[in-house]
Amino acid sequence: MRKKVLAGNWKMNLNSKQSLALYADISAALSSNKEFDFIVFPPFLHLKELIDSRGFIEIGAQNFHPELNGAFTGEVSVSQIKDIGIQYALIGHSERRTLFKESNSFLKQKVDAAIQHQIRVVFCCGEPLEVRENQDPVMYVTNQLKESLFHLNSEQLKTCMIAYEPIWAIGTGKVATEEQISQMHTAIRNELKSKYGQQIANEISILYGGSCKPSNAKAVFSCENVDGGLIGGASLEPTSFVELSECF
């Protein structure tokens, strides 16, 4: 059966000393638990030194380029993150989609590159406000999955997680209701069942990647088909991150 997952996306925050201190503080406050996967996604600059001091909390990359090498100035390749020991990577995060215009087809390339290099994927999907208000959000999100993730076979998919990010509810003052969260997570689970069967669908963790903090986490994590969280701001404060782990 699938595990509960608490993942922290540190985004473009923290210097080297702060990253090491945050990882150490979280590790000291949490304890290894076979029912949980704990993962943090630090900035590129700090990955190697965190890998060198890694404990039970896994280290993931926020991004990578799918090519092994080449003339891609400023990029970091999938082979380079694999070389330093990275075992998890975010793909399709809303900021990569919206700010850096990463398309479903490009994200498919990244998924394939990660699978080829035995890197576990946390695949992000979610709809913007105009889709939530004027279109079919479930169809929009399931299309992201079909175009970038659902070409994988069953064994490959079992190395992936899915994170639902309601883009319209992140930093906008709008809040996704428990009903909306449950509806989307259940729709994703049903798509998994339709494509891969009930057994595989039951093995895939689906995380909530909206605005989640200790004050609302218990309600969010209690929603149907929510297996954990992909946490932004609250993962930068060790007390908050630990409190989130206690909300399941």
CATH of the domain at 20: 3.20.20.70
Per-residue model confidence (pLDDT) at position 35: 86
Look up 165 and say whether it is catalytic: yes
Per-residue model confidence (pLDDT) at position 69: 95
**The dihedral of CA 236, 230, 228, 88: what is its sign?**
negative
DSSP state of 84: T
Q: Is the pLDDT of residue 174 over 90?
A: no
Using alpha carbons, select from 26, 32, 27 the residue that is nearest to residue 241: 26
Residue pLDDT, tens place only, 224-248: 999 999 999 999 999 999 999 999 9
Q: Is the pLDDT of residue 59 over 80?
A: yes
The structure tokens listed for 61 are 């990359």
Per-residue model confidence (pLDDT) at position 150: 98
pTM of this prediction exceeds 0.85? yes
Q: Is the pLDDT of residue 1 over 80?
A: no
- Active-site position among 65, 93, 117, 185: 93
Q: Residue 108 sits in which domain range?
A: 4-245
Instruction: State the total domains in the chain.
Output: 1
- Do residues 50 and 42 lie in contact, with contact meaning Cβ atoms separated by under 8 Å? yes
- Active-site position among 95, 102, 127, 165: 165
Look up 237 and say whether it is catalytic: no
Give the residue-averaged pLDDT of 76-101.
97
**If residue 104 lies in a helix (H) or strand (E), which one and from where to where?**
helix 104-116
- Do residues 207 and 227 lie in contact, with contact meaning Cβ atoms separated by under 8 Å? yes
pLDDT band for 171, please (50, 70, 90 cuts): confident
User: Rounded to 5, what percent of the chain is helix, strand, coil?
Assistant: 45, 15, 35
* C-alpha to C-alpha distance for 80 and 94, rounded to whole angstroms: 23
